[in-house]
């Protein structure tokens, strides 16, 4: 019997016209085995867990949605579900800001709040400004900022070691020179913003002056929210040492905030993207065509 099988094998081997079907029948296997080629397992190009940790170390205030967006920006293909599960497994927790507020009244003239029912449709329609304190390891300093409401872009800021009105007035003039004239300008009732010198600049450009109600921080909620982000994503995180350190790290943060930080309220776009793509036609014209300062 053994000899017979070996003889058959030899006979079949001699035939040169043996097709695939006959060969498979002889070996008692399916033809699909002949045509199927197993795909080699491709190892991941990157360790997703390590990349998520890198994002967290660089930007610890990002939640899983913004972390996912950041990974996609780096060219790392992954799903939102994967990012969330890995963050939970690694025990990563987003830094969550806590609400703080401070308000002091003064005897200057107050203006009504004009933004309550206002529909904001484009950049440079409404600017807002506010001052916050920055606690250093060597004392305390103050920061004033101006924000465009529609895009959340920080148009400018200044840091000072005193609460004088000059650094607020200088910032206002610099922003107008650089970005044009807004229709509305909203602040709280702080003495710097209600001072005659500050109001004079606003009136010289025929800007509508709006002010928060007494003790109503929510009237200026957008810049209040920026202060939370700024402090918890930069000031408290880096523990500013002195004025020089504060200016250096603040400049880096504002650049990041305007150019790279994803905003959920902006459909995860950056303030710069929204601001420059939604300017009114007047803002895109030559500076000589902007409304001239009223000298009367």
Which residues of the chain are under the pLDDT cut of 70? 1-17, 36-46, 95-107, 214-219, 282-296
Which pLDDT score, from 0 to 100, does residue 106 have? 57
The per-residue pLDDT for range 13-29, each reduced to its tens digit, is 444 567 877 878 887 88
Among candidates 144, 149, 168, 123, which has minimal Cα distance to 220?
149
Which pLDDT score, from 0 to 100, does residue 233 have? 92
Which pLDDT score, from 0 to 100, does residue 102 have? 43
The per-residue pLDDT for range 139-162, each reduced to its tens digit, is 889 999 999 999 999 999 999 988
């Amino acid at each position: 019997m053994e000899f017979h099988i070996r003889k058959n094998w030899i006979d079949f081997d001699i035939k040169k016209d043996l097709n695939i079907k006959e060969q498979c029948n002889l070996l008692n296997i399916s033809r699909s085995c002949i045509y199927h080629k197993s795909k080699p397992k491709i190892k991941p190009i990157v360790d997703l867990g390590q990349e998520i940790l890198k994002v967290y170390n660089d930007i610890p205030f990002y939640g899983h949605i913004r972390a996912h967006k950041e990974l996609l920006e780096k060219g790392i293909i992954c799903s939102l579900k994967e990012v969330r599960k890995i963050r939970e497994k690694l025990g990563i927790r987003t830094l969550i800001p806590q609400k703080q507020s401070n308000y002091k009244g003064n005897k200057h003239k107050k203006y009504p709040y004009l933004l309550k029912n206002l529909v904001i449709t484009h950049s440079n329609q409404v600017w807002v400004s506010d001052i916050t304190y920055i606690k250093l390891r060597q004392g305390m300093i103050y920061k004033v900022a101006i924000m465009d409401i529609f895009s959340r872009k920080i148009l400018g800021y200044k840091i000072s070691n005193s609460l004088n009105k000059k650094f607020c007035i200088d910032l206002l003039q610099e922003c107008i020179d650089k970005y044009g004239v807004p229709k509305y300008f909203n602040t709280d009732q702080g003495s710097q913003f209600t001072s005659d010198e500050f109001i004079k600049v606003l009136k010289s450009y025929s800007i509508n002056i709006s002010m928060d109600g007494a003790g109503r921080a929510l009237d200026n909620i957008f810049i209040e929210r920026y202060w939370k982000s700024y402090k918890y994503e930069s000031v408290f995180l880096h523990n500013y040492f002195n004025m020089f350190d504060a200016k250096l790290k603040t400049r880096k943060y504002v650049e990041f905030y305007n150019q790279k930080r994803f905003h959920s309220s902006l459909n995860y776009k950056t303030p710069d993207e929204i601001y420059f793509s939604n300017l009114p036609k007047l803002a895109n014209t030559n500076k000589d065509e902007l409304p001239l300062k009223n000298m009367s």
